[in-house]
Amino acid sequence: MENFIVSARKYRPVTFNSVIGQGTVTATLKNAIKSNHLAQAYLFCGPRGVGKTTCARILSKTINCSQVTNDTEACDKCESCEAFNTNRSFNIHELDAASNNSEMI
């Protein structure tokens, strides 16, 4: 059990191209990155399991990557990608909105 990884984490897509069923979303995000026209904020809305967190993670990884590929994907080799992959990036912080949804005291 010490190496137990939740399947949603283990099999989560790590590139825009590997996301299935959200082609319009990934194409829009890739175009925004490619044309350097990122919005101030992005809201990912929808029922669970459709890829909100996945797309948000890929977006944050890609816009922090220092060597984005010609296909507008994160390189997976630079310092930022390495930090993201090992969950030690100071620039990217994942906050689970499903658990953090009420007033903090």
Positions that interact with Zn ion (CB under 5 A)? 65, 74-75, 78, 81
Least CB distance to Zn ion at residue 80 (A): 5
Phi-psi group of 96: left, alpha or beta (phi > 0 → left; psi -120 to 50 → alpha; rest → beta):
beta
User: Nearest approach, Cβ of 62 to Zn ion (angstroms)?
Assistant: 8
- Using the minimum distance from each CB to Zn ion, give the nearer residue, 15 or 50: 15
CB 76 → Zn ion: shortest distance, Å? 6
Nearer to Zn ion, 14 or 50 (CB): 14
Residue whose CB is less far from Zn ion, 3 or 36: 36
Cα–Cα–Cα angle for 19, 23, 29, nearest 5°?
Answer: 90
- 26 and 16 Cβ atoms separated by less than 8 Å: yes
From the CB of 75, what's the least distance to Zn ion, in Å?
4
Q: Round to whole Å and give the CA distance between 73 and 55.
A: 12
Nearest-angstrom CA–CA distance, 98 and 7? 18
Decide: 63 and 38 in contact? Cβ < 8 Å. Answer: yes
CB of 55 or CB of 74, closer to Zn ion: 74
